[in-house]
Amino acid sequence: MKTYLFHKISDDYSDSWTVSNTFFREFIKKKVESGITFISESEVSKKHICNDENIALLHFDDGYTLNRKSYDYLIQLKIPFTVFIVAGLMGDWNRWDFSKELPVFSLMDVNEIKEMNSVENVTIASHTMSHTSLVTLEERRVFTELKRSKDVLENLLEQEVKYISYPYGDYNQISLENSKKAGYSRAYVVELRNSVKQGLELFGMVRDEIREN
Ligand SMILES: [Zn+2]
């Protein structure tokens, strides 16, 4: 199983975390034509994770409003996908990029998130409360970032939130253990930067970050 990760899709702006609409649609088209089936998080089984090369997940981190057109495109094609929401910044903007002097991008608000969640095969998941790198925090705060974001989203959506992706893909043993402790079923990273202990494999699931350049 492969997991493809996108952040922003836009024709008006370009950086390492942004791909154009044309690139995105071509990417999806090529995957489908090559026999890849996109499935939703709830359809993932052990068999898929271990060795099914024709199965893929589609992920969007951060929950940018400007991806709306791309989400609608996928919904139209009935392609499942997952959006990882920064639960403490709903309806706000990418505050974590502030110090890097990056442009401001709005994040989906509670109504947009609820609406997306009501679409079949769209999964809303957590991307922590504040988008702070978990490896910079003491364990008590790591747990809070994981657990509170889960609680906030569950209260909003009135259903269980089972998946999380770590901001910047940063994680260590404490992040993995606390994701399990907070009650998640799976946690996603970008690449394996640290070893993942036996028994915690589902909390360090690797994704392919898709870049245009
Ligand atoms: Zn992020």
Instruction: Give the CATH number for residue 116.
Output: 3.20.20.370
Mean per-residue pLDDT over the chain, rounded: 95
pLDDT band per the 50, 70, 90 thresholds, residue 99: confident
CA of 171 to the centre of ligand 1 (A): 13
CA of 20 to the centre of ligand 1 (A): 18
> Rg (Cα) of the chain, in Å, rounded?
16
Report the share of the chain in percent with pLDDT over 90: 85
Residues with CB under 5 A from ligand 1 (ion): 61-62, 167
Residue 156 has pLDDT above 80, yes or no: yes
CA of 55 to the centre of ligand 1 (A): 24
Angstrom distances, CA of residue 114 to CA of 61, 90, 123, 196 = 17, 11, 11, 33
CA of 29 to the centre of ligand 1 (A): 25
CB atoms closer than 10 angstroms to residue 11: 13
CA of 56 to the centre of ligand 1 (A): 20
CA of 128 to the centre of ligand 1 (A): 9
pLDDT band per the 50, 70, 90 thresholds, residue 56: very high
Q: What is the mean pLDDT of residues 105-115?
A: 98
Residue 79 has pLDDT above 90, yes or no: yes
Q: What is the span of the domain harbouring residue 83? A: 2-209
pLDDT band per the 50, 70, 90 thresholds, residue 108: very high
CA of 118 to the centre of ligand 1 (A): 23
For every residue of the chain, DSSP letters joined together read -EEEEE-EE-SS--STTEE-HHHHHHHHHHHHHTT-EE--GGG--HHHHHH-TTEEEEEEEE-BGGGHHHHHHHHHTT--EEEEE-TT-TTSB-GGGGGGTPPP-BB--HHHHHHHHTSTTEEEEE--SS---GGGS-HHHHHHHHHHHHHHHHHHHTS---EEE-GGG---HHHHHHHHHTT-SEEE-SS--S---TT-GGGSB--EE----
Least confident of 23-37, 84-98, 127-141, 183-197: 183-197
Residue 183 confidence (pLDDT):
98
CA of 35 to the centre of ligand 1 (A): 29
Number of domains in the chain: 1
CA of 89 to the centre of ligand 1 (A): 12
* Tens digits of residue pLDDT in 17-36: 999 999 999 999 999 999 99
Q: What is the number of alpha carbons within 13 Å of residue 107 lying toward its C-beta?
A: 24
Q: What is the mean pLDDT of residues 46-56?
A: 87
